[in-house]
Homo-oligomer: A and B are copies of this chain.
Amino acid sequence: MRNLLLTIRFDGTAYHGWQVQENGITVQQAFQDAWEKIFSARENVVGCSRTDSGVHADKYCCNVRTVTDMPCPDIVYAMNAVLPNDIAVLSCEETDWDFHARYSAVSKRYEYRIWNSPVKNPFISKYSLQVKYPLDASLMNKNASDFLGTHDFAAFCASGSSVADTVRTVTKAEVSRQGELVTFTVEANGFLYNMVRIMTGTLIDVSSGKIPDGSVPEIINSKCRERAGVTAKPHGLFLADVKYGKE
């Protein structure tokens, strides 16, 4: 038996997130279906994260414990031949037996992309949130820096979430602009349910003046979901990187 770590990339538009569920097709299901076609075995593929319906991944990691002795490059080739066009396998490597794509992760990086123009862009409308009025990216960047550090992020967790510990450590939180594209990049040792999307909605509200400049620390301290901004739509969100061990 081997434990294989696979990195994949997917356009989440057509999927109800990663995790197998009853009321819609998921990336995990599509992945396990492709695996079964090749290896005639139904394996449980462990993902690094649940992702919300419609969220994308530039780099997503998963692992599978398998009896196959197919060389890793051949697995990449075979999986890409069988998977639908919106899911690609980028790499495959053999890893320690104990490795777990979710529990072994030490940090994740997300990007939230905003198309900031009164005119929509047909080529990225599925990969960005359109905001028609001009955003102040430098103001958003200044307020984003208040997310840095170890905080109880309960105010940035979807209400109804049952997670016990809402303390997370944010190691990067930046907003930058390239032309009409405004990107919020955030890295942390873990994320709460909808955390990046609520952070993004909050920063947009700071730019519009709905939430006052400088109030992110107060919102964090309130631990109150209602104090933060709206949950930005899922289609602008990308899982950008997952780090393991001492990389």
Are A122 and B9 in touch, CB under 8 angstroms?
yes
Are B76 and A122 in touch, CB under 8 angstroms?
no
Are B88 and A120 in touch, CB under 8 angstroms?
yes
Are B86 and A122 in touch, CB under 8 angstroms?
yes
Choose one: B56, B80, B119, B122; the contact of A120 (CB below 8 Å): B80
Q: How far is the CA of A123 from the CA of B89 in the complex (A)?
A: 13
Are A88 and B122 in touch, CB under 8 angstroms?
yes
Mark interface residues in A88-123 (1 if CB within 8 Å of B CB, else 0): 111000000000000000000000000000111111
Chain A: interface secondary structure? loop
Are B127 and A85 in touch, CB under 8 angstroms?
no
**A143–chain B nearest beta-carbon distance, Å:** 29
Are A118 and B88 in touch, CB under 8 angstroms?
no
For residue A11, CB closer than 8 A to chain B, the reply is: yes
Residues of B within 8 A of A11 (CB): 122-123
- B-facing residues in A41-100 (Cβ within 8 Å): 56, 76-77, 80, 85-90
Are B85 and A120 in touch, CB under 8 angstroms?
yes
